[in-house]
Amino acid sequence: MFDLTGRVAVVTGGSRGLGRADCLALAQAGADVVVTDILIESDPEIARSAERSGSALAQLFTAQNVVYAERTSEEIRQMGRRSAAVKMDVTDREQVTTVFAQIARDFGAIDILVNNAATLDHIAQIEQQNDDLWDRDVSVNLTGAFNCTKAAFPHMREHNWGRVIFMASVAGTLGGFGQASYAATKASLVGLARTVALEGARFGITANVVAPGIIATEAFKLGNPKMNDRMVLRTATRAPGEPEDVASTIVFLVSPEARYITGQVISVAGGIDLFTF
């Protein structure tokens, strides 16, 4: 079950965290995987790319060498799959169109798209929300997913088969204190995904949303320990999830076995939305 042999997947924000786990899980299921990110290890402009992104986390991970796009691609090739690590800014429409066209030429298809790229470092209550960071978050989290989906959709329709995953968050379904821009953009992905599900249904294309809860990524581990403990205690399982928990859900949703599931929001959150005491 969940055999993706012969399928071509594109994952945005694949250099670390959930994106990296998604890439590896898709490859383990048989897919060829293109790892895209604004940060690529061998890029001589990597520090400048991180700075231009306006993301404090991107700059921190670059400084700490927590960037694994090419390493992930190499691990996938060692599994016997085809793979490439490609620099791509999801907010740059022209670049996105060019990259997706090149992927289709080089790999022969684009069957699976995981819209994972996102910003997560804008924390402030409404009165203190930074207008520029609000605009950045909308551009990356929402418009970036739209740009990539728009570029991939014609290739999926041409082959009458496709899977689109939108990575949201429980902040988008429950709200997030001090996370207005993040929560709003993640909630907006639900409407976008359901529209894609409707428009793609007659072409064998499904679209679903995965909403992770507290997942032990590099970003989580950099968080305030006391705040992390509070969030974990809010979770019914009393433990953070692992990136692989999210990745395995995605593998199922993009598999042939999930062909009749579309327009849905799948929470991978350990029961954080349950009444817990």
Q: Which residues are tagged catalytic?
A: 182
Determine what percent of the chain falls in helix, strand and coil, rounding each to the nearest 5.
50, 15, 35
Contacts of 105 (CB under 8 A, 6+ apart): none
Helix (H) or strand (E) holding 189: helix 180-200
Nearest to 83 by CA among 31, 46, 40, 41: 31
CA atoms of 268 and 82, how far apart (whole Å): 29
Q: How far apart are CA 179 and CA 171, in angstroms?
A: 8
Q: Are 231 and 265 in contact (CB under 8 A)?
A: no
Question: Do the beta carbons of residue 187 and residue 176 sit within 8 Å?
Answer: no
